[in-house]
Amino acid sequence: MEIITKILDSEALHDNPVNDKPQREVTIIENSPKENTPLLVGLAGFFGSSRSFLNKSYTNIDFMDVLNKISKKYSFIIILPDTMTYFRGNQYVNSTAVGNYSDFITKDLIKFLFKIYGKRDVYLFGKSSGGFGSIYNALHNPDIFSGFIDISGDSYFHYSYLRDFPVAYKILKNLGIKKFMEKFNSDYIHSQDELTAENIIAMSAFYSPKNTEINLPFDLNDGGLNEHWNAWLKFDPVNIIDTSGISLKNKKIILQTGIYDEYSINIGMNMIHEKLSML
C-alpha cells in the first residue's frame, strides 16, 4: 500500500470569492491497482478535509489500520482531496459566496484522475457533510459516478438544521455575520454555541447566497424563518430525489446511519431509503 500526494490546480476554484487557494493537495492511497480498480473519492465532514480521514476517530477506529487489514484481499485506489474553505468546511456544491466546489469534484478532480488512471468507475463516499456531498453530486452527475456511500449525510433539513437556528440567532442577532466571523477567526477557542453559529453561516453561504452576500434562513430582527429557508430546501436530498432520483436507478448505493442521531439524520436517511426503494 502506497500513499501519494499530488497537487491539483483547480480551474473551478480560481478567483473564488473568499480567496481560498485553487491549488489543492490530493492524497491518493493505492493498493495493488488494476485496470478495473475503481476510484473511491472521499469527501470529508464539516470542519475536516482530506487528511481528516487519516486521523484516529473518537471511536478509536484508525482508517489506515482498516485499510491495512483489507489490503491483502482487495485492490483499491482511494482519493482524498483537500476541500477546506474559509468557512472551515464544505458542502460540495457550487456557491457564488464560497466557490464552485461541485465543479472542483466533478470536473477538475475527475479530469485529473482520469489523466493518471484512465477512465474507469468512480464512487463517492463520506460522512455528515461528506455524505451529503456524495449523494448530492451523484444525483446530479449520474454519467460520472457509478454509486456512493452516504454515512449520516445531512438530510431532511427540517429536522437536521432547524434545531440549531435558535442557537445561531441568539449569537448573531447582536453581532451580525461580518463581526461574528471576524471574532471567530481571531479567537483560538470557541464555545459549542459559537461553532453552531459558524456552521449555520457556512451552510447559508453554500445554500442561500446572492452573489457574494450570505443570506441567513431566519430574520435577525425576530428570529423567524424567511424566504431564504426555501433556498435551503432545494438542496435537501429528500426533496431532490423526488425529481432526480431516477438518475440513481441501477447505481451501487450504501446508506448508513445510527438508530439514534442527535440531529435526527436517521429519519432523513430512512426517508431517502424508502424513496430509492420505489425507483
* DSSP calls for 100-120: EHHHIIIIIIHHHHHHHH-S-
Question: How far is residue 279's CA from residue 269's CA, in Å, rounded to a whole number?
Answer: 16
Q: Residue 206: enclosing H or E segment and its boundaries? A: helix 192-207
Q: What are phi and psi of 214, to 5 degrees?
A: -100, 125
pLDDT, residue 55, reads 78
Instruction: Render each residue's pLDDT in the chain as its tens digit; 279 residues.
Output: 999 999 999 999 999 999 999 999 999 999 999 999 999 999 999 998 887 888 766 445 688 888 888 998 999 999 999 999 999 999 999 999 999 999 999 999 999 999 999 999 999 999 999 999 999 999 999 999 999 999 999 999 999 999 999 999 999 999 999 999 999 999 999 999 999 999 999 999 999 999 999 999 999 999 999 999 999 999 999 999 999 999 999 999 999 999 889 999 999 999 999 999 999
Instruction: Retrieve residue 87's grid coordinates.
Output: 468557512
Q: Which domains does the chain have, with CATH numbers?
A: 2-156+236-278 (3.40.50.1820), 157-234 (no CATH)
Inter-residue contact 3 to 28 (CB < 8 Å): yes
Geometric angle at alpha carbon 170, from 94 and 158, rounded to 5°: 50
pLDDT, residue 40, reads 98
Of residues 123, 145, 134, 150, the one with CA closest to residue 254: 150
Inter-residue contact 45 to 130 (CB < 8 Å): yes
pLDDT, residue 58, reads 46
196-232: pLDDT as tens digits: 999 999 999 999 999 999 999 999 999 999 999 999 9
Question: How far is residue 100's CA from residue 207's CA, in Å, rounded to a whole number?
Answer: 12
pTM assigned to the model: 0.96
**Pairing verdict, β 147-151 and 2-9:** unpaired
